[in-house]
Amino acid sequence: MKTFVLKPQDIVRQWFVVDAAEQPLGRLASRVAQILRGKHKPTFTPYVNGGDCVIVVNAKQVKLTGRKPDQKEYFRHTGYMGHERFTPVATMIAKHPERVIEKAVWGMLPKTTLSRQKVKQMLKVYAGPTHPHVAQQPQPLKLAEA
């Protein structure tokens, strides 16, 4: 019995649309990361980009549980000594709600060049309910209800 290896010519991509309104951020991000990697397919191969494209809408309405709205901060460094910047998650959701979901999904993917490609090319996040990818005929993706 031979081991199946997914080849680039065998890849079949689908488009999924996810409504992030009132969804917990972590659960949403873990499911989106799973779809981007292609782990939901029986043809999963870790070193081939065989995942599907995901469109996330209503990023502004994502839900943070517990004390995260008060305590969670995003860290960045300007490159100068002592110039660390911390941005509260409430500010990030108000100004750039797409980045909150992108950072959460990126945190759940392996840190490889393949994962960077997936986040840049296959993940589309929009703050509002509309998106310009109607021509791809995305299927709605249901997240597991808690």
Burial 124-142 (b: 16+ CB within 10 A, else e): bbbbeeeeeeeebebeebe
Q: How many domains does the chain have?
A: 1
Is pLDDT at 144 greater than 80 in this prediction? no
List the CATH number of the domain containing 28.
3.90.1180.10
Residue 63 token pair = 């839900």
pLDDT at position 107 is: 95
* Residue 34 counted as domain residue: yes
Nearest to 35 by CA among 8, 61, 53: 53
Residue 98 token pair = 């797409």
* Residue 3 counted as domain residue: no
Residues comprising the chain, all counted: 146
pLDDT at position 143 is: 82
* Residue 71 counted as domain residue: no
pLDDT at position 21 is: 94
Distance CA 139, CA 106 (A): 22
Q: Which domain holds residue 29?
A: 13-65+97-140
Q: How far is CA 75 from CA 63, 86, 92, 127, 137, in A?
A: 20, 5, 11, 22, 37
* Residue 117 counted as domain residue: yes
The residue type of 71 is Q
* Residue 87 counted as domain residue: no
Is pLDDT at 146 greater than 50 in this prediction? no
Is pLDDT at 36 greater than 50 in this prediction? yes
* Residue 127 counted as domain residue: yes
* Residue 135 counted as domain residue: yes
pTM listed for this prediction: 0.91
* Residue 56 counted as domain residue: yes
Is pLDDT at 117 greater than 50 in this prediction? yes
pLDDT tens digit sequence for 1-31:
788 888 989 899 999 999 999 999 999 999 9
Angle between helices 25-37 and 97-107 (to 10 degrees): 60
Question: Coil, strand, or helix at residue 57?
Answer: strand
Give me the chain's average pLDDT, please. Answer: 93
pLDDT tens digit sequence for 38-75:
999 999 989 999 999 999 999 999 999 999 999 999 99
Q: How far is CA 119 from CA 13, 91, 107, 114, 146, in A?
A: 15, 23, 11, 9, 26
